[in-house]
Amino acid sequence: MINPRLDSLNDYPFARLRGLLGSVTPPAGIEPAVMSVGEPQHEPPPFVAEILAANAAIWNKYPPVDGTPDFRRAIADWLTRRYRLAPGRIDPDRHVLPLSGTREGLFMVGLLATARRKNGKAPVALIPNPFYQAYLGAATMAGAETRFLPSDRRNDFLPDLDGVDAETLVRTAMAFICTPSNPEGAVASVDYLKHALDLARRNDIVLAVDECYAEIYGATPPPGALEATTEGDDFANLLVFHSLSKRSSVPGLRSGFVAGDANLIAAFKRLRDYSAASVPGPVQAASAALWREESHVQANRTLYRAKFDAAERIIGKRLGFYRPDGGFYLWLDVGDGEAAAKRLWAEAAIRVMPGAYLARTDEAGRNPGQRFIRVALVHKPDAVETALKRLVKVL
């Protein structure tokens, strides 16, 4: 009765974490700090609630799967500004599609891009390792074989695309890249993205670039994959994914979008016609306003920078600390991520994610996340600073 492909998926990381810590009792009298989940805790802009209320009359209408014209236009305009594209390159009617958060789209792209055979052989999906779990779910449930590309200090925490052999490339249906990466916070350069896109086009691969952390960064805005394209190529083979969850601190809104290759967007729309995962009308109205407004995003970045300042001051050169170029995670080298997570919960009431739960073990028994913990700096600065002091004391 159950699709057997589910058997090849690990338990989701948070389910594994509950199993690891289920028998551990945190110390009494200490406010628990849940730093295992990348769930922004900053206050969203007040106008979100106002717009939702003002559009209450359309809750009883089915929203268009391809979004309202205003929603698509707001995204096209934002992409043009953010990535310095020529006016008119992003056509809101051809290149943009709303999503119920990026996870929905990143999962469904597997169904979109995976044919039963690729060049007469079983299809392959390329996935960075560590990785966001939706990539694995997308590939597995679509019937693709997975090839995990280690992302560690040796390759600046970005997958080594040149390490993929020619036989595998011939079979590859889709490739995932995350920039800034989750969990390491690495940012891909325009040259890296151009190389990835060239590889995708030469081998007929759908390149899915997850950019949902693109608006959380230090000094320099991360480049995007759209900047790796050229006038007239119509974004061929490329899909980029964005979300308001991180950018605007509204994860409960479940609002994002996919943009890129017009042919892929049209096929994606056809697929979503059947899934009915459309974004409600009031949410689209609020989302359009968020994509048009930048001051709350700047304030958001200021808070994250303050928390990284605190982390740098408190942790210093210990635990392999480095300041990531983007995102809001610390990727700390603690020797044994599971052991450290248990200690932190037992001794300091801090809940973090073992890095091994975000990665796959290779054939040689190596897991690139085994030594690490991921710490999400999503709470308010004072709470983060208090928790990091407890973390350092324990580890």
Transcribe 248-282 into DSSP letters: SS-GGG--EEEEE-HHHHHHHHHHHHHH--PPPHH
pLDDT of residue 24: 94
Going from the C-alpha of 236 to that of each of 198, 239, 262, the distances in angstroms are 10, 9, 8
pLDDT of residue 6: 87
Q: Report the C-alpha gap between 226 and 259 in whole angstroms.
A: 9
User: Given the structure tokens 């009431």, which residue do they identify?
Assistant: 349
User: Given the structure tokens 């693109």, which residue do they identify?
Assistant: 214
Among the listed residues 213, 289, 262, the one whose alpha carbon sits nearest the alpha carbon of residue 97? 262
Residue type for position 27: P
Whether 225 and 95 have beta carbons less than 8 Å apart is answered as no
Q: Which residue intervals of the chain bear CATH 3.90.1150.10?
A: 4-43+296-394
- Residue 243 is classified by DSSP as E
> Per CATH, which fold does 4-43+296-394 belong to?
Aspartate Aminotransferase, domain 1 (3.90.1150)
Q: Report the C-alpha gap between 144 and 156 in whole angstroms.
A: 27
pLDDT of residue 275: 87
Strand 124-129 versus strand 96-99 pairing type:
unpaired
Q: Report the C-alpha gap between 225 and 213 in whole angstroms.
A: 13
pLDDT of residue 42: 94
Q: Residue 146 belongs to what H/E stretch?
A: strand 145-150
* CATH value of 47-293 in 2.60.120.10, 3.40.50.460, 1.10.8.60, 3.40.640.10: 3.40.640.10
Q: Residue 174 belongs to what H/E stretch?
A: strand 172-178
Q: Which residue intervals of the chain bear CATH 3.40.640.10?
A: 47-293
pLDDT of residue 129: 96
Whether the link from the prior residue into 130 is cis, omega within 30° of 0, is: yes
Among the listed residues 248, 175, 261, 185, the one whose alpha carbon sits nearest the alpha carbon of residue 222? 185
pLDDT of residue 213: 97
Tell me if residue 176 falls in helix, strand or coil: strand
Q: Report the C-alpha gap between 361 and 187 in whole angstroms.
A: 24
Lay out the sheet containing 238-243: strands in order across. 96-99, 256-260, 238-243, 206-210, 172-178, 124-129, 145-150
**What does each of the 395 residues of the chain score in pLDDT, given as a tens digit?**
888 888 888 789 999 999 999 999 999 999 999 999 999 999 999 999 999 999 999 999 999 999 999 999 999 999 999 999 999 999 999 999 999 999 999 999 999 999 888 888 999 999 999 999 999 999 999 999 999 999 988 889 999 999 999 999 999 999 999 999 999 999 999 999 999 999 999 999 999 999 999 999 998 999 999 999 999 899 999 999 999 999 999 999 999 999 999 999 999 999 999 987 789 999 999 999 999 999 999 999 999 999 999 999 999 999 999 999 999 999 999 999 999 999 999 999 999 999 999 999 988 889 999 999 999 999 999 999 999 999 999 99
pLDDT of residue 178: 98
Residues 6+ apart with CB under 8 A from 165: none
User: Given the structure tokens 């994860």, which residue do they identify?
Assistant: 251
* HSE of 106, CA atoms in CB hemisphere, 13 A: 24
Among the listed residues 365, 392, 222, the one whose alpha carbon sits nearest the alpha carbon of residue 310? 392
Rounded to 5°, the CA angle 24-27-28 comes to: 125
